[in-house]
Amino acid sequence: MTVRPASPEPSAGTDPATNQACRHGRSEGGCVACDVRRVSVCAALTGQELERLEAVSHRIVLDPRQILFGQEDRADAVYNVTEGALRLSRLLPDGRRHVIGFALIGDFVGLALPERFTVTAEALTPVALCRFDRRAFTALVEDVPHLLRRLHERAGYELTLAQDHMMLLGRRTAEEKVAAFLLGLRARYARIGLTSVTLELPMCRQDIADHLGLTIETVSRMLTRLDRERAILIVPGGVRLVDPGRLEQLAAS
Amino acid sequence: MTVRPASPEPSAGTDPATNQACRHGRSEGGCVACDVRRVSVCAALTGQELERLEAVSHRIVLDPRQILFGQEDRADAVYNVTEGALRLSRLLPDGRRHVIGFALIGDFVGLALPERFTVTAEALTPVALCRFDRRAFTALVEDVPHLLRRLHERAGYELTLAQDHMMLLGRRTAEEKVAAFLLGLRARYARIGLTSVTLELPMCRQDIADHLGLTIETVSRMLTRLDRERAILIVPGGVRLVDPGRLEQLAAS
DNA sequence: CGATCGGTTGAGAGAGATCAACGCAGGTGG
DNA sequence: CCACCTGCGTTGATCTCTCTCAACCGATCG
């Protein structure tokens, strides 16, 4: 994943609709040539089905801070992330925020094919996605049980991730939370073939805090502590995992 | 739902296998007459499909404290709860526990059709379930996309529940957690047609604590406080929701 | 009758929150 | 080019909510 500090030109607008027209036309080579497919739900599909999928898909691009959809919005599309990272968050009426998670390359957004979204999705980096019209996608799903099976598998995986995260939120100390977060992110990057020792952190400290049920100060302190303990090295835009073993020990998973 | 304080005779053994032989044979009238079906995934099925479902199902019964399956066990069956309540929990290597949730009447356990379970399921009350052999059930699912669709829908619902719970664990105070827990339970009971003002609490305080990321003492104190504030009335085996409005206010959802 | 179990209550301690100051980088405007 | 501002992150001092430890109560049971 390429994480640039920020897009040079400011966002053209926050309405993704203005962006839904293909900037580059359909991605070169289409789904068949797409290297994200291997790690995504699309892997369930074969030649002819892929063509159908491609027919209902558009490539869209978001600048950092641009909102893909808001909590409660009607879900008239579902998405597959092909580049960059999104933040998925929920707001409590009184303004408290929880970051449910981050959608990375290969992640499918709208897995459950819901009527309405339950989270807000915002780009953290420049993001590229395949946008599938929900109605058309649902029709495809009806025809291809294979695809539904794959979606369901993925939903099951998300469910276990959610369980892990609940355990983390409810029963772990601040240091364990931060260590586990870093390891979890590494595992997810590894799953999509990114195995660098340097972990890019496309999200800001506040996002991490809201994800782990901590304050920004505590996250900062714990990262500093891990750095002092030589488990990690804080670098611009991320951290270098100097001693993953130590980190695993601290994460107590 | 009938919640008795405890089964008079102690559990015959913790191995559910000893119980898997039908005690009462197939439930009288079978799936067609089953009144849990309406609120469960089985609602997706019609006449002939129901017969196939019934053919791969066995009714099994658990005594309180009996374990249905353990974390990491091979999932050779999936289940539908028809009576009673189960606790779904996860253990951290160091013994800390998190209660992921509670399976009530109509809940499907093993929604994701996983190879292995990720949680331990234990009966809190006398429990009755439909046990479906996983292989046979999976085969049925392959044949009836309808059913898979329904499973997937339900998984989506579970996912939003998990999101709600993450928000609760990460960003709410002890009092809010307890209030929200009671309201959430009421909502789930309502979903299956139980609308009594008195909320049965089949789980013990420790279970609630481990579910909410609190200690047993804090749960007890918060319940006492809610009682003193006249929002609830603590009664044997549960609580009476005296002032749900007040509770909603306190839950801040 | 003592033992055990689940729940409640109190006193004190501690992990993390809160409040506040500061540093640094990037952008902006004179 | 410099002064200023803003956003993000870090660090320190203090506070507070929840945990920990401990005692106690009532019910159940052998």
- Tokens of residue B204, six digits: 């013990």
Band of pLDDT at residue A32, cut at 50, 70 and 90: confident
**Which of the pair, B19 or B180, is modelled with greater confidence?**
B180
Look at residue B12 and tell me whether its pLDDT is greater than 70: no
The predicted-structure confidence for B55-113, as pLDDT tens digits, reads as follows 999 999 999 999 999 999 999 999 999 999 999 999 998 889 999 999 999 999 999 99
Cβ A148–B145 below 8 Å, yes or no? Answer: yes
Q: Cβ of A174 < 7 Å from strand C?
A: yes
Give chain C positions with protein CB within 7 A.
Answer: 6-11, 15-20, 27
What average pLDDT is seen over chain A?
Answer: 88
**pTM attached to this predicted model:** 0.89
Q: What is the mean pLDDT of chain B?
A: 88
Contact in structure between B76 and B134 (CB atoms under 8 Å): yes
Whole-Å CA distances, B57 to A40, A116, B42: 34, 35, 12
Q: Mean pLDDT over residues A88-112, rounded? A: 94
pLDDT for res B21: 39
Residue A36, Cα to own-chain centre: how many angstroms?
Answer: 14
Model confidence at B30, pLDDT cuts 50, 70, 90, reads confident
**Residues B83 and B105 sit within 8 Å (Cβ to Cβ):** yes
**Residue B157: closest CA among chain A residues belongs to which residue?**
A112
Measured in residues, chain A has a length of 253
- Give B-chain residues touching A252 at CB under 8 angstroms: 92-94
- Chain B residues with CB-CB distance to A163 below 8 A: 90, 100, 118-119, 162
Which domains, from first to last, does chain A contain? 16-161 (2.60.120.10), 172-251 (1.10.10.10)
The DSSP 8-state label assigned to residue A218 in this structure reads H
| Distance (Å, whole) CA A239 – CA A223 | 9
Q: How far is CA A88 from the centre of its chain?
A: 7
Q: Of B98, B142, B159, which is closest to A167 when you measure between CB atoms?
A: B98
- Residue A54 pLDDT exceeds 60: yes
Interatomic CA–C1' length for residue A196 and nucleotide C16, angstroms: 32
Do residues B98 and A167 lie in contact, with contact meaning Cβ atoms separated by under 8 Å? Answer: yes
Give the pLDDT of residue B27: 52
pLDDT, position A114: 92
Whether B128 and B24 have beta carbons less than 8 Å apart is answered as no
pLDDT at B18 over 70: no
A199 bridge partner residues: A239
List pLDDT tens digits, range A225-245: 999 999 999 999 999 999 999
What Rg value do the Cα atoms of chain A yield, rounded? Answer: 19
A127-167 residue pLDDT tens: 999 999 999 999 999 888 889 999 999 999 999 999 999 99
How many beta-carbon contacts under 8 Å exist across A and B?
118
Range with the poorest average pLDDT among A25-34, B3-12, B15-24, B152-161: B3-12
> How far is Cα B228 from Cα B250, in angstroms, rounded to an integer?
14
Decide if pLDDT at A111 tops 60. Answer: yes
Residue type present at position B154: R
Backbone conformation region of residue B25, classed left if phi is above 0, alpha if psi is from -120 to 50, else beta: left
For residue B250, what are the contacts with CB-CB under 8 A and spacing of at least 6?
B175, B176, B179, B226, B231
N- to C-terminal Cα distance for chain B? Answer: 27
Contact B124, B64 (CB under 8 A): yes
Q: What is the DSSP string of A30-79?
A: HHHH-SSGGGSGGGG--HHHHHHHHHTEEEEEE-TT-EEE-TT-B--EEE
Task: Specify which residues B238 forms β-bridges with.
Answer: B200, B235
When pLDDT is cut at 50, 70 and 90, the band that residue A42 belongs to is: confident
Residue B69, phi then psi, degrees to nearest 5: -160, 160
pLDDT in tens, B154-170: 999 999 999 999 999 99
